[in-house]
Amino acid sequence: MLGGVCLVVMPSVARAQPSLAELEKLRRSLEQQIIRLRHDQQRLQNEFRLLDQKNALLDRQLRQLRATGTGAGVAPEPQAAPVARSQAVAASSAPTTAPASPPAASPAGEATAPISGPSPRQQEARRTLQSAPTLASTGGVLTPKDQIVIDPSIEYDYWSQNTLNVNGFQIIPGIVFGTISTFRQKQQIATAAVTIRAGITDRLEVNLKIPYVYAYQSSTSTYLVQGTANQIGVLTPAAHGSSIGDIQFGASYQFNSGEDGWPIFVGNLLFKTATGVSPFDVPIYTTNDTSPDKQYLLGISKKSPTGTGFYALEPSLTVLYPTAPGVLFANLLFIENFSRSVNVQQTDGTVVNESVHPGEALAITFGIGFSLNENTSMTFSYQQEHVFAASENGQSVKGSAYDFGTFNFGLGYQFNRRGSVNLGVGVGAGPDSPVAKILLEVPYHFSL
């Protein structure tokens, strides 16, 4: 019985083992699958290279838009790391017999090496800080390489100062014998200017500003003579003038890239000429005038100057630190006014040549800027300036040193890829500060 079972089972086992033909057929099927997998792998590598090419082209276009300062409406810069990692994984899984992938190239045949230029942090800081009225004059917002910015602007400044003089003696409180006079001076200055900025490199900019100034000032003198007939008089002389102002030119250089958490440092150097009408060249009221009240007008200008009358060199350092959601900034400015010999008009009508040196000035500005959306930004800042005492013929002029501060608010809107409009408002802090100032700029970018 046992032998019979063995005779039945052995042929069945033999029939279950594959034949040589079946094994050969299975081998050919595996080889075909391996060939198909290698073809699919090569196709995926080609698709990864194509994606890298498209990513490099998009990266180049975004950098060009941001380099012109007009990329406010563009989405954030794409990251090529995911694609690169996918390609690396695909390449590592390829057979050793597969050829190495060539470097990705753009459609024009250019290599996709990293393109130099402002980083996204710098571009965001530049767009935001364009609305800062203080940085527009001191520097800090650089023009990209091969770009020219034409920046027409209008600025309005309003100053007011009150003075009380008492020349007499007091018997009891409230009763004064002599002359009491008050002097109130208002000055309004409107400056229309064109500023041209050119980017030599991504870190070096040169600029030129040509202003045209219209100045108007009015003086109100009120005097009360007691001890006589209590005569009260009011004088309101006015003066105005208009001409080209003091032309300025200079350069700005960015020292570092601001990467690895460092702030961005920008050095600025500005030279101010004396092309405007000097305060020493405008006529004043003297004793030779026929006005019966000339004693209360002595020294008051008959016309308004449009310049300072002195050359000045203004070095400054600007520090920018982009940090979400705003951009912190500060500027340290020093103004060196050069002395010169001028003809000083005396109240008796004579002219005396004297060497006059205006006081140097030191100013610090700090603030923060916000990007509200893709097109709108705003800045808040405060500027404090100290003017050192002036000197005349080597002798210090007492009372000529003073301090003043200004609170500044800026609002910017980018209306297209190349143009924007910026509005800045300043409010004075202190008796020697401007009451108010308004600055309107419309910068427009051109490519060389």
Residue 265: per-residue pLDDT: 92
Spatial separation of the C-alpha atoms in residues 195 and 150, rounded to whole Å: 6
Residue 220 backbone zone (phi > 0: left; psi -120 to 50: alpha; other: beta): beta
Residue 312 to residues 217, 269, 316, 339: CA-CA distances in angstroms?
24, 11, 13, 9
Rounded (10°) angle between helices 20-67 and 81-92: 160
Residue 290: per-residue pLDDT: 60
Residue 60: per-residue pLDDT: 73
Spatial separation of the C-alpha atoms in residues 446 and 71, rounded to whole Å: 14
Query: Could you tell me which of 216, 430, 423 has the C-alpha nearest to residue 302?
Result: 216
The DSSP string of 311-358 is -EEEEEEEEEEEETTEEEEEEEEEEEEPPEEEEEEPTTS-EEEEEEEP
Say how many residues make up the chain.
448
* Mean pLDDT per 10-residue section of the chain, whose length is 448 residues: 48 58 84 85 81 79 63 44 42 40 40 48 67 70 87 90 56 52 77 94 92 87 53 67 94 86 90 92 79 66 89 94 85 93 82 89 92 87 92 85 90 88 89 84 89
Q: What is the DSSP letter of 178?
A: E
Within the chain, all domains assigned CATH 2.40.160.40 are found at 120-447
- Contact between 318 and 138 under an 8 Å Cβ cutoff? The reply is yes
CATH number of 120-447: 2.40.160.40
CB neighbours (10 Å) of residue 378?
Answer: 19
Residue 181: per-residue pLDDT: 58
Residue 215: per-residue pLDDT: 92
Which residues are registered as beta bridge partners of 162? 184
Residue 424: per-residue pLDDT: 92
Spatial separation of the C-alpha atoms in residues 436 and 156, rounded to whole Å: 8
